A and B are shown apart, each in its own frame.
Chain A
Amino acid sequence: MQAILIRHDTKAWKAQVWISFFVATLVCATGLGWLPGRDLDRAFMMMGYLFCVSAAFALAKFVRDNERRARRACAPIAAIALAFACSASSRAQSTISDVSALSALPIAVSVAAPVDVLSAGAALTVVAVEATSTGAVWVLARASDGARASVRLVGRGVAGASIAAGTVVLASALSTGWVLSAAGQAICFIPNELGRSLLYNERITR
């Protein structure tokens, strides 16, 4: 399975980006304000700055869009974040029917539910994680009595990719299935029959 590229900007990086942007803005604006010369010269300089800034934005956007285009083959749909389509390779997606019929949720979806081990509010520990061509298999152990079950997942979502052995997850019961979460973040949805009837994903046009 192809390695999954998950990009998280760190807080420090975000701060640096903003700080450098504001410092650059401030320095330019100050320089412009005190630039000796006529107003017309300053107006010309400001126009130059604006052109430079907009050209830089356009270039950044162009680079970003082209990178997306290259990854389009496995790009997920709009606002739904990195869904299983992106974790599973596009080849796998088109050949494995039960995978493509399942959803493009931003979290992993279980295709085999260990209903007996899931009870409302149960705390479970991930004992083992195994990557497969379409997602992952997690072995879960219930904290109360050590009962084990394995969950076969398609996709990993975003948080699911960071799940390793030893993670404690909480099972919450919904009328449509179960949500497994770690620290409040949903990592996996296990639909029951009703939940399955509400999930479907098919891309009609390329």
Chain B
Amino acid sequence: MSVTTSTWRRLAAVALLAAATTAAHAGRSCEQKAPTARAVSRAMLLAEHTAARLTQSGANVVVIARAGQNLSEYGLRYSHLGFAYREGEGSAAVWRVVHKLNQCGTASASLYRQGLGEFFLDDLWEYEAAVVVLAPETQAHLRAALVDNALVARLDTPAYSMVAYPWSERYQQSNQWAIETLAMAEDPAASTRERAQAWLRLHDYQPTTLHLSALQRLGARIASANIAFDDHPNEKRFEGRIETVTVDSVFRWLERDGLGGPVQVIR
């Protein structure tokens, strides 16, 4: 009797603690915190270095990633990626990033075209950028889509989950939008999300598997509007195997599939 009572007590405490800690971590995004002068100066310097390196590389379109939060617990370095492309020629050339951003921790996201300054002035965890130069044909295909607002938004689904399942169409996270759009640019037949995902499977894209316990999943689902698990297949979901599109998995795949070169780190 006393054993079971203390077990229950412990369980209750664990459950409540889990709820409390996840609630504290949720909704980081719309915090109205002014950046420090140092953060602005480091971000703008990183933007400047990145622009210089990209121009030097001679590329027109690259995949660019930033480290917005510490994901080392999951064995990941970068948190978010987008496509950067060159606009204009010669010394007048500037770089623009097209990427998908989640709005203030809500359950939806939109596409943005931004400068490198905005891309890095986003409360970074590490002031470094990772860049993969795409293969020349891939660059040409993708560029045509990136400058066309209608085309680039064709596979965009506003419903957002940070851990969206790569082979479902219910939600779409930022990195997932990027690789599905890449698929569409590479193969015009991949004109729907379903077909783009089929193309990705055909090209052997392999998502990252995160291992999340039932309590972690429950806590995250309750406390964050931008996290959902109901698009994951039950057999994986209830075993705590959550597959999603991560920057690190995309980088590995691009090189393996010959779509891009090695990862270059810019500081």
Contacts and interface: CB of A to CB of B under 8 A. Distances in A.
Contacts of B37: 170, 172, 179, 181, 184-186
Contacts of B30: 68, 81-82
Contacts of A198: 44, 47-48, 51, 94, 115-117
A33 to B, nearest CB: 5
Contacts of A72: 103
Given A57-B223, A204-B111, 6 more contacts: A77-B112, A78-B29, A81-B31, A104-B118, A184-B37, A198-B44
B96 A32 contact: no
17 contacts: A7-B32, A49-B12, A53-B19, A77-B110, A78-B104, A80-B118, A103-B114, A105-B121, A157-B34, A172-B41, A175-B45, A197-B94, A198-B48, A198-B94, A198-B116, A200-B113, A206-B110
- Bin chain A's interface residue count: 35 or more
Interface string A47-61: 001100110011001
A163 to B, nearest CB: 11
Interface string B1-37: 1001100110111011001100100001111111111
A26 to B, nearest CB: 9
A21 interface: yes
B40 interface: yes
A166 interface: no
Interface stretch (A38-46, A89-97, A122-130, A137-145): A38-46
A202 interface: yes
Nearest to A39: B4
Contact of B153 (A22, A157, A205): A205
Interface stretch (A112-120, A146-154, A187-195): A187-195
B81 to A, nearest CB: 14
| Interface size class, chain B | 35 or more
B168 interface: no
Contact of A21 (B15, B20, B68, B223): B20
Nearest to B122: A79
Contact of B32 (A81, A105, A203): A81
Given A57-B222, A198-B48, A200-B115, A25 B121 contact: no
A11 to B, nearest CB: 14
A106 B104 contact: no
Contacts of A184: 36-38
A6 interface: yes
A133 interface: no
A158 interface: yes
- Pick the 5 closest A-B CB pairs, nearest first: A159-B34, A181-B37, A200-B115, A204-B111, A198-B117
